[in-house]
Amino acid sequence: LRFRLAGYPRKHNEGRVEVFYNDEWGTICDDDFTLGNAHVLCRHLGFVAATGWAHSAKYGKGVGRIWLDNVNCAGNEKSIGDCKHRGWGNSDCSHEEDAGVVCKDERIPGFKDSNVIEVRKMLTRVGSWMPQSTLGCGAVWELSLGVQESSVGFPGNWQGVGAWQAPVAGDTSAATGHAGRGSGFLSPHRLFTERQQLNYRLHSVSCTGTEVHLSLCSFEFYRGNSSAACGAGMPAVVSCVPGPLFATGNAHKKKQRQQQQQQGQPRIRLKGGARIGEGRVEVLKSSEWGTICDDRWNLQSASVVCRELGFGSAKEALTGARMGQGTGPIHLNEVQCRGTEKSLWNCPFRNITQEDCKHSEDAAVRCNVPYMGYENLIRLSGGRSRFEGRVEVAVGAGDGDQPRWGLVCGEGWGTLEAMVACRQLGLGFANHGLQETWYWDASNVTEMVMSGVKCAGHEMSLSHCQHHGASLSCRNTGTRFAAGVICSETASDLLLHAPLVQETAYIEDRPLHMLYCAAEENCLASSARLANWPYGHRRLLRFSSQIHNRGRADFRPKAGRHSWVWHECH
C-alpha cells in the first residue's frame, strides 16, 4: 500500500487521502470515519499523529475507485488494512464523500516520503552510448523502484574514459541529475573500451529529461541470461558537467566568472542550510530578497532550483520552513514547474497575497551534489561527542600516498573557519571556533600542518580557504593552541531589524536623577562617574530594537540563566 495527500486548497500536512491498491489510486469514503482512522493514515504518510479529519470532499472530489468504506480503526493499528472495513473496493459512496485528514506537522524520524529520493553511493562506468535519446542497453546492477525510496547501484570494477561532445538528450539529464551534477553529454562516436564480461539488467531506457532520478524513467528489464543480452550494443555511459562550485581549473572558473558578469546578480539563492546544496529558497524580486510559499511545492520545482544553482536534481523538496523561517516578503506561491525549465522564473506561479501564506510555510530544497570525498580529509579528536573536538587535517594524500594527519594553528581561528570545518565534516553548523584545546588532548597527533587559515564561510573544505601553505607560521605550536570546533545540526540565526533602529533613533537629554539605576548597571559611559550627581544631565541615543530568529534552533545565550542580571537600560 502507498498513500498520498491530494486536493486543493491545502497545506503540506493535510488533504484528501488517496491509497494505491491493486495498481490503482483511489480514495476512502467518509462514512463512520473517526480520528482513530486519521491517526493510522497520518502515520502511513510519515506524520506522528492526526489533529483532525475532513468529510464531504472538503479538498475536492477524487477520481477512480473508492477503495475503502466504513473504516473503523482504534488508532494504534500498524496499517489501515488492519482496521475494520467493508472490504477493498466494496463501497456505496460517491466521490462527494471522499475523506481527508489533517496531520500534526511533525515528521516521524527517518521517514522517507514521495518528496524525497535517496540515492545510494554510485560508481559510474564510462563506455559507449549510442547518440539517440533512448538507451539501447544499460550496465545496471541494481535498481529498486518505489514512491518512497528509489536507488540505483552500479558495479564498481569498471574502466575506460571517453571524450564527450554532443549535447545530451533527456536520458542523461536524469542520470547526471541524481549523480549530483547539472547536465550530461552524449558521445557522437563509439568509444573503445576494454572488453569484459558484463551483466545487463536494463534496456530501452527512455527519459523525458524532467525526471529527478533514473528509476522514474521508463525502461525494460532483461530476462534470462543477462550476460548474453545487448549483443548489438554497448554499455550505457554518461559524462557530467560540473556546476560552478565544483569546477576545477582556471579555464572553467574564468568562463564561469564571465557568465556571471553577463547575467548580473543571481536572482535565486539558498539560505539557512548547513550543507552545500541545501537551504531555504529565496528569490530576488524588485530588488528585494523574499521566500517561496510551499503550496504545491514538489521535486520537479525543487529540481529546477537545484539545476539553476549548478547542482544536480533535487533529493528532497522541503515544506513547512524546515530550513528556518525567512524574513521580508513571500514573493511566489503555487510554483508548478514541469522540470524542463532553465530557471524557476520560467515556471508558472501565483503572486502572493497577504492572507495566502506565512513564513512558517517557506519552501526549501536538498539537492544532489557530486561526491567529492572532502570529509575524508578532516576529523575531530578528543571531544565528548562526535560534534566537537580538536581539528585534524590530512595532508599529502595525493598520488596514492598515505595521508599525514596534523593539527591546525589556532591563531586567528574563528567562527567562519569553524563553519567550513563543520560543513566539511558533515556535522552541520558551527557553535564555536576554539583557539585553545588543551582539554581535548587525547590524540597522538602533535604536529602543526596548517596555519593562517582565513575563510569567507562558504567554502566546502578548509583547503579552499586562504592559508600559509607549506610555509607554516604559528607563534604557539604546542598542541594546546590547536584549533577546535563545536558543531551543531541546527543553529539560531539572529537578525537585527536595522530599519526599525534607523526609524526610531533620537537624541534625549535626560536628568541625572533619573539615571541612578542605569549608572548602577553600567549602562552609561565611564565619564558619568565624574558628573555632579544628581544635578546636570546626560545626552543619550535612544532607539527601539527588534531581533528576529530566522534559524532552525532556539537562541540560547552563552551565559547560563543563573548568571543573568536584571537591568532596565536595554
3-class secondary structure per residue, 377-421: HEEEEECCCCCEEEEEEEECCCCCCCCEEEEEECCCCCHHHHHHH
Evaluate whether residue 40 is within a structural domain: yes
Task: Report the CATH number at residue 470.
Answer: 3.10.250.10
Q: Residue 130: what pLDDT? A: 31
CB atoms within 10 A of CB 254: 11
Does residue 396 share a domain with residue 357?
no
Angstrom distance (rounded) from CA 394 to CA 449: 9
Does residue 279 share a domain with residue 362?
yes
DSSP per-residue letters across 507-522: EEEEEGGG-HHHHHTT
Ranges of residues in the chain whose predicted pLDDT is under 50: 118-169, 185-194, 250, 570
User: What are the beta bridge partners of residue 151?
Assistant: 144
Secondary structure (H, E, C), 83-98: CECCCCCCCCCCHHHE
> What Rg, from alpha-carbon coordinates, does the chain have?
29
Does residue 478 share a domain with residue 528?
no
Does residue 469 share a domain with residue 378?
yes
Evaluate whether residue 243 is within a structural domain: no
Does residue 515 share a domain with residue 436?
no
Does residue 448 share a domain with residue 413?
yes
The length of the chain, given as a count of residues: 570
Q: Residue 350: what pLDDT? A: 84
Q: Residue 407: what pLDDT? A: 94
Q: Cβ distance 30 to 55 under 8 Å?
A: yes
Evaluate whether residue 425 is within a structural domain: yes
Tell which of 66, 86, 103 closes a domain. Answer: 103
Evaluate whether residue 340 is within a structural domain: yes
Q: Cβ distance 247 to 372 under 8 Å?
A: no
Helix (H) or strand (E) holding 307: helix 299-308
pTM of whole model > 0.75? no
Backbone torsions φ then ψ of 425, nearest 5 degrees: -75, -15
What's the burial of 197, exposed, middle or buried (CB within 10 Å: 0-12/13-18/19+)?
A: exposed
For the record, the C-alpha cell of 308 comes out as 539553476
For the record, the C-alpha cell of 440 comes out as 581535548
Angstrom distance (rounded) from CA 205 to CA 169: 12
Does residue 346 share a domain with residue 449?
no
Does residue 378 share a domain with residue 351?
no
Residue-number span of the structural domain to which 316 is assigned = 266-367
Evaluate whether residue 293 is within a structural domain: yes
Q: Which residues contact 152 (CB under 8 A, 6 or more apart)?
A: 119, 120, 122, 140, 142, 143, 178, 213, 214, 215
Angstrom distance (rounded) from CA 345 to CA 342: 9
Tell which of 303, 334, 367 closes a domain. Answer: 367
- Whether the upstream peptide bond of residue 109 has omega within 30° of 0, thus cis, is no
Q: Residue 142: what pLDDT? A: 30
Does residue 406 share a domain with residue 332?
no
Secondary structure (H, E, C), 344-381: HHHCCCEECCCCCCCHHHECEEEECCCCCCHHHHEEEE
Evaluate whether residue 476 is within a structural domain: yes
Residue from 443, 449, 397, 391 nearest 419 by CA: 391
Does residue 79 share a domain with residue 11?
yes
Does residue 460 share a domain with residue 362?
no
Q: Residue 235: what pLDDT? A: 82
Q: Residue 143: what pLDDT? A: 31
Total domain count, the chain: 4
Does residue 509 share a domain with residue 468?
no
Q: Which residues contact 86 (CB under 8 A, 6 or more apart)?
A: 68, 69, 70
350-351 and 330-333 strand pairing: antiparallel
For the record, the C-alpha cell of 5 comes out as 495527500
What's the burial of 94, exposed, middle or buried (CB within 10 Å: 0-12/13-18/19+)?
A: exposed
Q: Residue 164: what pLDDT? A: 26
H helices within 179-221, ranges in order? none
Distance set, CA 410 to CA 392, 431, 517 (Å):
12, 16, 41
Q: Residue 248: what pLDDT? A: 60
Angstrom distance (rounded) from CA 343 to CA 336: 12
Evaluate whether residue 173 is within a structural domain: no
Evaluate whether residue 214 is within a structural domain: no
Q: Residue 394: what pLDDT? A: 93
Q: Residue 174: what pLDDT? A: 58
Which residue type sits at 32? D
Tell which of 465, 488, 511 closes a domain. Answer: 488
For residue 334, the 8-state DSSP code is S
Backbone torsions φ then ψ of 259, nearest 5 degrees: -60, -40
